[in-house]
Amino acid sequence: MTEMQPSSCDTFVALPPSTEGQRIIFGKNSDRPCDEVQEVVYFPARDYDGEEKVECTYIEIEQVAHTHAVVLSRPAWLWGAEMGANEHQVCIGNEAVWGRESADEEEALLGMDLVRLGLERADTAEKAVDVITGLLEKYGQGGTCMEDECGFTYHNSFLISDRKEAWLLETSGKYWAAERVEGGYRNISNQYGITTKIDKEHPEMREYARSKGWWDGKTEFNFATVYSFTTTARIEASGSRYCEGKKLLEKSNGHITAETMMDILRDKDSGINMEGMFMTTGSMVSVIPTNPDLPGVHYFTATPDPERSVFKPFIFVKNLNPLKETSSPSFGADDPVKKKPRFQRKPDRKHELFVKHEVVAAIIESYKDRGEKITEGLRQLEKKKMEEMEQILSQGVDEPDLWVNVFSNSVKEEMAVYSTS
């Protein structure tokens, strides 16, 4: 098997003392096929009778007795998510990784399914590690990760955070290693990054590597070196998006804010804001106070290219409504993803915001003066929303009913900027 060139996604987390104001800042760009629609959806907490099943993208698995409320940014054709958060302020993003072990084409759980399952079933970052690895052991990971192409498969790494810490989880088939991050910053980008600091692991992970001849059983065990094609030295020296992202975090170390993270996700020179056949189709930034009495704020674009998008706030409060403007059409039993054979036709999955954004993006591209005016209007809207959220992050939510539609209202204001520019 030849080494596959990393082609998508960057995920970041910054914790005190790298951040300002005793907050954890989480961010991710989802880099996917340029014609793929990413939707932002909300699912409330639910109780189940213990007998039910949950139908993931390809396979059905056992449901748990209770699932937490979640907000997700996801490719519209599948069940799982590229990134998201839950009501306990756990945030998860996943990355494609390739290594010595071939990724399985047989349909199982996608890494994106594992993101959603981790959020629905865990109220801390460490518990999310346990949920994901338990599901890996029971059901495995596999299946094509694109709607209209067979054979695009990969293993997954995950960056997971909560109010006090973050965890990096890296997998190869059912084998895995996890590292706790208790301060500073961390980023991941399509390559194994756990080296010798391993805080949890699959009990047979080292012996499996030894049996395959990847490790001699004597030298210090380095997960990235043992399980990937690329040595740690090559990773550090590669000039890849990983290295560029690390430099951008270091540049603001001690003062990393939500604005810092948004600027990083918008950075095109580094390749983090990706263009081309694979491009940034959705972005997320979360601000999580370490104080448990204060709410977290989760910003999503729900549109491609964060440079031409607005990061819009979402807060977990009671009585939230569905996010209609960023929810794609549902095709139910007629969806070709659920049929065999697949890939015969691709339905139109564009949601309302995506359609309007697509038109405006073309205007920005074609008409410089008008494009600058639109972009300025979008930035002013984003700044206004972030100022509103600063009060929430500092003082909490006094009247939850005022914030049930904060994301949807922000979407409507964004579309108003489009129509008046």
What pLDDT, in 10s, does the model give residues 251-272? 999 999 999 999 999 999 999 9
Q: Look up residue 391 and give its amino acid.
A: Q
Dist. CA 281–CA 262, nearest whole Å: 15
Q: Is pLDDT of 421 > 80?
A: no
Distance, CA of 22 to CA of 287 (rounded, Å): 10
| Separation between Cα atoms, residue 235 and residue 244, nearest integer Å | 12
Q: What are the domain boundaries of the chain?
A: 10-408
> 3-state SS of 283-319?
EEEEEEECCCCCCCEEEECCCCCHHHCCCEEECCCCC
Q: Given the residues 9, 56, 91, 145, select the one marked as catalytic.
A: 9
% pLDDT > 90, the chain: 80
Burial 52-88 (b: 16+ CB within 10 A, else e): eebebbbbebebbeebbbbbbbbbbbbbbbbbbbbbb
d(CA 238, CA 274): 18
Q: What is the 3-state secondary structure (H, E, C) of 362-415?
A: HHHHHCHHHHHHHHHHHHHHHHHHHHHHHHHHHHCCCCHHHHCCHHHHHHHHHH
User: What is the pTM assigned to this prediction?
Assistant: 0.95
Tokens linked to 158: 């995950």
pLDDT at site 230: 60
Residue 9 bears catalytic tag? yes
Q: What is the pLDDT of residue 20?
A: 94
Tokens for 177, please give them: 């290693």
Q: In the predicted model, what is the mean pLDDT of residues 115-135?
A: 98
Do residues 324 and 302 make contact, with C-beta atoms less than 8 angstroms apart?
no
**Res 371: pLDDT:** 87
Question: In the predicted model, what is the mean pLDDT of residues 124-133?
Answer: 98
Question: Quick check: 201 and 210 in contact, CB under 8 A?
Answer: no
User: Would you say residue 420 has pLDDT above 90?
Assistant: no
Tens digit of each residue's pLDDT (9 = 90 or more) over 325-371: 999 998 877 777 766 555 567 889 999 999 999 999 998 888 888 88
Question: What is the 8-class DSSP label of residue 166?
Answer: E
Q: What is the pLDDT of residue 281?
A: 97
When the pLDDT of each residue in the chain is averaged and rounded to a whole number, the result is 92
Fold classification of 10-408 is Penicillin V Acylase; Chain A (3.60.60)
Give the pLDDT confidence of 184-237 residue by residue, as tens digits. Answer: 999 999 889 999 999 999 999 999 999 999 999 999 999 999 998 765 444 443
